[in-house]
Structure 1
C-alpha cells in the first residue's frame, strides 16, 4: 500500500515536471541582419559590392531597380505552448549602391507598433531610395501562419 502511494506520487510529479517544461517560451531567429560591428567594415563612399559581400555576406534580398540595394532581414519569433508564433523583433539593414557599385547609404530599420523606424543611418546624401520596399517588407508582421514556421 505504501509502495503504491509512493509510485503514484512519483508519476504525478513526473507528469507535472513534463507539463511545466512543455510550456517554456522558445525564441527562434530567422534570417540575418549584420551587427553594427560587422558593418563598421563597410565604408560609405569607398566600399564596393564585393567588399560588402566579404565583410557581411550576401544579402537575403536585392533591390529590383537596377540592383540598387542589398537588404539583410533578421526576425525573432516567440513560440509558446500551443499559441501561434509571434514576431517580437525585425531588423532590416539596407545597403544602397550608386551606379558604379560603390556604397552610398547604410541604414538599419526596426519595427515598432507596425511602423518602420530608422534605428541607424550612414548616408552620403539625404535621398532615401527603396523605402517603399522596406515598408512592404516590414509591413508583413502578423501575416504568417504557424505552419510556415513549424519544423518539418
Structure 2
C-alpha cells in the first residue's frame, strides 16, 4: 500500500510540474545607463555600435533608422506566451551618420491581429471539391500561356 501511495505522489508531482509557467527574454538586453548615454548631435553610428552594439534590425525603407528590440514573455503550460514587457529603441541618424534622435516605446505599440474566421475571403467564383478536381479536364491551352506547347 505504501508503494502505491508513493507512486501516486510521484505521478501527481510530475503532472503538476508540467503545468508550471515559464518566463523568457528575447532580443536585445537593454542597459538603461548605456541607452541614456546616447545623445543626439554628439554620437554617430560608430559610437552607438561601440556603446550598445549592432541593432536588432535596420529599417527596410531607411538604413539610417536602427531598431533595438527587447521583449519579456510569460507562458503557463501550453497556452500562448503573453508579452509582459517590451522595449523598442529607435536610433535615427542623418545622412552623415550622426544621431538625430533616440526614441523608446513600450508594449503599447504591439498590434493585436485577430483572424476573421477559419477561411480567408477570396474574390471569384466558389467551386465545389469536384469542380476543383475535374475542372481542367478538356480545356485547351492557348499559346503563350504557361504550360502551353510552343510550335
TM score, norm. by length of structure 1: 0.67
CA deviations 1:2-42 (Å, max 9, x no partner) are: xxx11011111111211222111101111115222121332
CA deviations 1:23-80 (Å, max 9, x no partner) are: 1110111111522212133222111101001110101111234422100111122221
**Aligned equivalent of 1:63:** 59
**Aligned equivalent of 1:84:** 80
**Aligned equivalent of 2:37:** 41
Change (3 A) 1:63 1:33: farther
Cα RMSD for the two superposed structures: 1.8
Aligned pairs, number: 114
Q: Unpaired segments of 5 or more residues in structure 2?
A: 115-151
Runs of at least 4 residues of structure 1 off by over 3 A?
none
More helix by share: 1
Change (3 A) 1:142 1:36: farther
SS in 1 for 2:79: coil
1:1-152 mapped onto 2 (5 Å cutoff): 5-112=1-108, 116=109, 138-139=110-111, 141=112
More strand by share: 1
In the alignment, the residues of structure 1 paired with residue 63 and residue 29 of structure 2 have an alpha-carbon distance, to the nearest angstrom, of 19
CA deviations 1:90-135 (Å, max 9, x no partner) are: 21000111121111111110123xxx3xxxxxxxxxxxxxxxxxxx
Shift of 1:84: 2.1
Q: Unpaired segments of 5 or more residues in structure 1?
A: 117-137, 144-152
